[in-house]
Amino acid sequence: MSSALFFQFNEAIRPPYQILIDTNFFNFSIQKKIDIVRGMMDCLYAKCVPMVTDCVLAELEKLGHRYRIALTLAKDPRIKRLTCSHKGTYADDCLVSRVMQHKCFIVATNDADLKRRIRKVPGVPIMSVGSHSYVIERLPDAF
C-alpha cells in the first residue's frame, strides 16, 4: 500500500487538483461542447491543473487530420505539459504507470479499458465526460 493512502482515503489528492487527460477525453469534450478547464472546475468546485503527457500528444498527432481540433486543444497554454522518459508512445501505459508512481493525480478518460486498469489502483479518482458535464468517480468526501 502506498503511504499516500490513509485508511481508504488518498491524502495526496487535494486542491489544486492535478488531472491527467487521456486522448479520448479531448474528443468527447469537443463532441459535448464542454470547455475543459471550466468544466473541471465546475465538477470539482476547486482550482484544477489539467495536464497532458507527451504520449497523449503523440497519439493525437498520429490520429491525423480529423483530430486537429483536439490537438490544438491539447496544446492550449492553460494545459500543463508533462514530459515522458520512457520508450514508446502508448498513452494508456504511460498514464497507468504515472498514477502508480504518484497517487496525486486524477485521471480524465472515457476509455473503458483504461478505467478498468485504473480502478485496480487504490485511491485514484476517475473523471469522465457525462451527458452535459464532467462526472467524477471515487473521489473521497473527506475534503
Q: Is a pLDDT exceeding 80 seen at residue 2?
A: no
Q: What angle do helix axes 23-31 and 54-63 make, rounded to 10 degrees?
A: 60
User: In the prediction, which pLDDT does 86 show?
Assistant: 81
- Coil, strand or helix at 134: strand
pLDDT classification of 80: cutoffs 50, 70, 90 = very high
Of residues 107 and 15, the one with the higher pLDDT is 107
Q: Judging by beta carbons within 10 Å of its beta carbon (0-12, 13-18, 19+), is residue 77 exposed, middle or buried? A: exposed
> If you write DSSP's letter for every residue of 7-40 in order, what string do you get?
TTEETT--SSEEEEE-HHHHHHHHHTT--HHHHH
**Across 88-106, average pLDDT:** 89
Structural domain contains residue 1: no
The CATH number of residue 84's host domain is 3.40.50.1010
Q: Is a pLDDT exceeding 60 seen at residue 141?
A: no
Give residue-wise pLDDT tens across range 125-136: 999 999 989 999
User: In the prediction, which pLDDT does 142 show?
Assistant: 43
pTM to 2 decimals?
A: 0.88
DSSP β-ladder status, 48-53 and 17-21: parallel
Structural domain contains residue 72: yes
pLDDT classification of 13: cutoffs 50, 70, 90 = confident
Based on the structure, what is the number of domains in the chain?
A: 1
- Going from the C-alpha of 56 to that of each of 14, 63, 136, the distances in angstroms are 24, 11, 21
Structural domain contains residue 142: no
Contact by Cβ (8 Å): 109, 91: no
Structural domain contains residue 9: no
